Amino acid sequence: MVILFVVGGVTFAIAANAVDEIRELADIQVLPSPIPHQKLAKVRHTLWRQGRRYFVVDGGAHFQMPATQPTRLMVMRHSPAAVIVDGIERMQEIQSIQALPEAFSGEELRWYRGLALIKGRVIPVVHAEAFLTKAEATFLHASMRADEITETMAVTA
């Protein structure tokens, strides 16, 4: 079972069991300061949910697409990532995932598990872990802790 979601007019699929919740964009908070790492410019917000911090990845920035009008947030199940998407189409059963053609190269190889044929359309199936790697999450957590320490020191000074 996959969830079909849209970013920049393109439909993608992600394993339904990789997504913990789909919600509105309410309650996301802007990061106190920009992350000083170009590759992580896709993260500009956080979400606190059930005592846990999630880093909100802009789906358009992740897939290197022009700015979009996001309406939904997919909170990942086994990752500190949540992903802003333009919309959710539906859930869909798929029979198989085809390997990526050799024309795919670079970051796309990390982004996609393969391709699925759904009602005559070829849909890229996304790796949930590709939105935010463990190394990126560690860097973001450390950066947030450094900001919190700096903020605390400024208040007590």
Tell me the pTM: 0.86
Burial call 41-59: b when 16+ CB within 10 Å, e when fewer: ebbbbbbeeeeeebbbbbb
> In the prediction, which pLDDT does 152 show?
47
Number of alpha carbons in the 13 Å side-chain half-sphere of residue 31: 22
pLDDT along the chain (157 residues), means of 10: 96 97 92 71 90 93 87 94 96 92 85 92 94 89 66 48
- Give the full edge-to-edge strand order of the sheet including 19-23: 19-23, 72-76, 81-85, 52-58, 43-49, 28-30
Q: pLDDT value at position 9?
A: 92
List the CATH number of the domain containing 45.
2.40.50.180
Which pLDDT does position 150 carry in this prediction?
Answer: 47
- Count of domains in the chain? 1
Neighbours of 10 (CB within 10 A): 15
Host domain of residue 65: 2-156
